[in-house]
Amino acid sequence: MRAVVTGGAGFLGSHLVDRLVKEGWEVVIIDNLITGSTENIAQHAGDNRVKFIKQDVTEFLFIEGPVDFIFHFASPASPVDFVRFPIPVLKVGALGTHKALGLAKAKGSKFMLASTSEVYGDPLVSPQSETYWGNVNPIGPRGVYDEAKRYAEAMTMAYHNFHGLDTRIVRFFNTYGPRMRLDDGRVVPNFIKQAILGEPLTVYGDGSHTRSFGYYDDILEAVWRLANTQFFEPVNIGTTEERTVLQFAKLVIQITGSKSEIQHLDAAIDDPKQRKPDLTRANRLLDWHPTTSTEEGLRKSIDYFRQKLNTSAS
């Protein structure tokens, strides 16, 4: 089997590459490194089963030879990135998805879109099921990502319905783990970095908004199982272990043994008040349940960030 992974040098994409190689696949990685890093795929250097192409996926994609599966995981995914790279975020969701789907059509390959819980916006229902249409502000600061992913889902379904393309859509909920960037800006790397350095943990608003954090290893097991189905409608992947952001900050301080305090900042614009997936579809379809507790996943992530911070300081 031979796969193309767009965004394969990013956090989740690089872990997917590892999994595919472990399963005996050949992999072509396409990444422009706007938020990815070759450090994430350095373990495959010299392996002739893995090829890296530095390219923006919004440009024409040309891959020699057969391709069995395309995993479209390319996109900046942090609120910090939405401010820094608003146009690239929109382009990778629209033009990048179009180019990736076009390649899948030309090669006769299967296709998976990495979508997000952000398609639900600031939800008015909880937990969020795949049938919920969302509550999105299209012109707010998060709108570039929310609408890019909603458009990408619509484009994927259009290729499935009109061209008969074999597609899948996975909606990720707050995935975390090793290889997240130190400057990522999302809750997990922010809190861990601040706690290790003894800095205040910055909580936006009163911290009562909730998140359901899924460890990457569990999440990719679900991705692998979904890839081996023929189910084409969206599937939520995450964990129902819901915590407030304030509770999560206190947990990070506890596990790191940090002396950091918590600092409250102004609430972020359009920051969702609740994030909790309805996993009924994933449980039934994939016979899948996350097995890594938040505490265990955090300990592994903290070990990684300590190493990264020590390396950057030396």
Q: Is 145 an annotated catalytic residue?
A: yes
Q: What is the C-alpha to C-alpha distance for residues 306 and 41, in angstroms, rounded to an integer? A: 20
Residues 6+ apart with CB under 8 A from 186: 77, 78, 79, 80, 174, 176, 180
As given in the structure block, the two tokens for residue 307 are: 């190493």
Identify the active-site residue in 120, 132, 145, 204: 145
**Strand pairing category for 234-237 and 26-31:** unpaired
Active site residues: 145
